[in-house]
Each structure stands twice: as structure tokens, then as C-alpha cells.
Structure 1
Amino acid sequence: MSLLERLNNDMKQAMRNKEKDKLSVIRMVKASLQNEAIKLGTKELTDDVELTILSREVKQRKDSLHEFGKAGREDLVDKLRTELAIVELYMPKQLSEEELSEVVKETISEVGAKSKAEMGKVMSAIMPKVKGKADGALVNKLVQQHLS
């Protein structure tokens, strides 16, 4: 089942259950997917593009969550946490820190990196492997640890 089909089914279910928050988030994600399809001039998006859009939605909410937290807006923080939980339902299973650490070690040995100066080379090799499955900041932190 494609992501769009899943979103449509979940949207119908949210309507039946009168879950306004979930319905609103699903509509936003669906709109982002449709806008991207229009921008690319295609009817069907690839899984990779869908994953990129979902990752963007998660990142936007995490950034907003951080900003609203600093501003003391707990009402908006709670709303964003709910939205984030809903969007993350559609993301692939996230890698644990141990699994990610293994991928980092493998990639460092594949690339042959020895120092932090080669961090860019390692990051460009590793990010396509873990796209949507790991947070970029965590990947960055682990790469730095393994290169030092």
C-alpha cells in the first residue's frame, strides 16, 4: 500500500472517529505530498521523495517544538508533540543508536576516513544509507565520535 493510500484510509478513519487533530495533520502531510507531485510534474511520487517529504515534515515540527519550548508556549508545544507523533507513524522504523553506530563504523572503513577532516566524505556516504531512519544530528555526533 502506498503512502498516499495509507493516508487516505487513515483520513477516512479519523473522520469516522471524529479525531480532529489527526485529521488535520494527515491533511497537511497529504497536501505536502500533492504539492511536491505538482512541482515535479508527476502523478506518482517515488518512495524516496515521499520519505524526503515526511522527513521535512518531522524536522519542521521538531524545530518549531524547540522554538516554542524556548518561548514558554506550552500550549503550542503540546499540540506539536501530538502532531509529531502522528507524522512519525508514517516514517520508517528508526535505527537504534547501536545499529546506527554499526553503520557509521562500516561506512568509515568503506571510505577509509582517518580523521575529522574527512567527516564530509563520511557524511555524504552515510546519509543516503540511513535516510529517514535516523536523525542527521545523531549521525553527525556518532561520526565525530568514531573519527576522533
Structure 2
Amino acid sequence: MSLSNQIDKDYIEAYKAKATVKVAVLRHLKTAIKNRMVEDKADSLSDDAVMELIARQVKQRKDSFDQYTKAGRDDLAQVEAQELVELEVYLPKQLSDEELEAAIDKAIADLGASSMADMGKVMQAVLGAHKGQVDGGKASGLVKSKLS
């Protein structure tokens, strides 16, 4: 079953179960998928494209959570945290810090990277090899520290 079909199925189940947070999250996600399909003039999206949309929604939720926390709006931060939990179900398991470090070391060795000029190549290799499993900010920090 494609990821898009799984989201549709989960939306219907959540709606019937009256799970308001999950319904809201999946409704936003379904809208994003539909908008992307209209932009691309396509009948459906690949799982990679849907995964990219989910990752974008997760990033937005994390940013909102951080902003609300800094502003002292714990009520809104709590809502974002709940929505984030619902969205992360659809993402692949994130790499642990050790796995991420090993992946970066491997990419640096494979590419023969030795300076900050090679950072883009290393980042592209790591993010491409572990699509959806790596936090770009965390990876960027590690790559910078290793190439500096």
C-alpha cells in the first residue's frame, strides 16, 4: 500500500474514532498532498514525494514548538508536540547519533573530503543515502566539526 493510501486509510479510522488531533494533522497532510498533485499535474505522488511533504510538516511543527516554548506559550507548544508525534509515525526511524556519525565518517572517507569546501558533497551523500532518517541541522553541525 502506498504511503498516500495509508494516510487516507488512517484519516478515515481517526475520523471514526473521533481522534481530533490525528484528524487535524492528517487533514493538513492530505491537503498538502493534494496541492502538490495539482502543482505537478499528477494523478498521484510517489512515496518519496509524500515523505518529503511529511518531513516538511515535521520541520514546521518543530520550529513552531521551539517558538512557542521560547515565548512561554506552553499551551500552544503542547498542541504542536502532539501533532508532531502523530506525524512522526509516517517517517522512517531516525538515525541515532552514533549511526549518523558513522555515516558521516563513511561519506568523508568515500569522497576523500578534507576541507569545508567539500561540505556540500558530504551533506548530499549523507542525506541522499539516508533519506528521511537524518536531521539536516544535526548532520550539518557534525560535518562542520569533522571538516574544520
Could you state the TM-score of these two structures normalised by the residue count of structure 1?
Answer: 0.94
Take 2:113 and 2:15, find their aligned partners in 1: how far apart are those partners? Answer: 52
Take 2:13 and 2:46, find their aligned partners in 1: how far apart are those partners? Answer: 25
Take 1:87 and 1:119, find their aligned partners in 2: how far apart are those partners? Answer: 30
1:58 — aligned with what?
58
- Superposition pairs for residues 40-119 of structure 1, below 5 Å? 40-119=40-119
- Unaligned 5+ segments in structure 2 are none
Q: For 1:32, give the aligned amino acid.
A: A
Take 1:70 and 1:14, find their aligned partners in 2: how far apart are those partners? Answer: 31
1:45-95 superposed Cα distances (whole Å, 9 cap, x missing partner): 112211111110001111111111111111100000000000101111111
Take 2:129 and 2:35, find their aligned partners in 1: how far apart are those partners? Answer: 26
Take 1:18 and 1:44, find their aligned partners in 2: how far apart are those partners? Answer: 27
Take 1:131 and 1:83, find their aligned partners in 2: how far apart are those partners? Answer: 22
1:121 — aligned with what?
121
Partner-residue secondary structure (3-state), 1:95: coil
Partner-residue secondary structure (3-state), 1:90: coil
1:8 — aligned with what?
8
**Matched-pair identity in %:** 40
Q: For 1:114, give the aligned amino acid.
A: S
Aligned residues: 148
Runs of 4+ in 1 over 3 A off after TM superposition: none
1:133 — aligned with what?
133
- The CA deviation at 1:99 is 1.2
- Unaligned 5+ segments in structure 1 are none
- The CA deviation at 1:144 is 2.0
Contact 2:4 2:47 in 1 (8 A): no
Take 1:16 and 1:50, find their aligned partners in 2: how far apart are those partners? Answer: 24
Could you state the TM-score of these two structures normalised by the residue count of structure 2?
Answer: 0.94
Take 2:136 and 2:98, find their aligned partners in 1: how far apart are those partners? Answer: 15
Take 1:77 and 1:68, find their aligned partners in 2: how far apart are those partners? Answer: 5
Q: For 1:54, give the aligned amino acid.
A: I
- The CA deviation at 1:20 is 0.9
Take 2:129 and 2:34, find their aligned partners in 1: how far apart are those partners? Answer: 26
Root-mean-square deviation over aligned CA pairs: 1.2
